[in-house]
Amino acid sequence: MDVRRDLPLLVPKELVPIIHATPRYVVVNKPAGLLSVPGIGPEKQDCVVSRVLAMFPSATGPMMVHRLDMETSGVMVVALDADAQRELSMQFESRVVMKTYVALLEGSPARDEGEIALPMRLDVERRPYQIVDFEQGKPAVTRYRVLSREVDRARVEFEPITGRTHQIRVHAASEISRGLPGGGLGSPIVGDGLYGINACGPGGPTSGLLLHARTLSFLEPGTTRRVEFEVGPGF
Q: Which residues pair with 79 in a beta bridge?
A: 25
Buried b (16+ CB within 10 A) or exposed e, 192-216: bbbbbeebeeeeeebeebbbbbbbb
Measured between alpha carbons, how far is 129 from 109 in angstroms, rounded to an integer? 23
Asked if 7 contacts 36 with a C-beta cutoff of 8 angstroms, the reply is no
User: Of 2, 69, 112, 192, which is the active-site residue?
Assistant: 69
Asked if 157 contacts 145 with a C-beta cutoff of 8 angstroms, the reply is yes
Which amino acid, residue 217?
S
To the nearest 10°, report the CA torsion of 65, 68, 69, 70.
Answer: -90
Reference 28, options 55, 62, 58, 61; nearest CA is 55
- Tell me if residue 123 is catalytic: no
Reference 12, options 50, 69, 68; nearest CA is 50
DSSP result, 163-175:
--TTHHHHHHH--
Q: Catalytic amino acids? A: 69
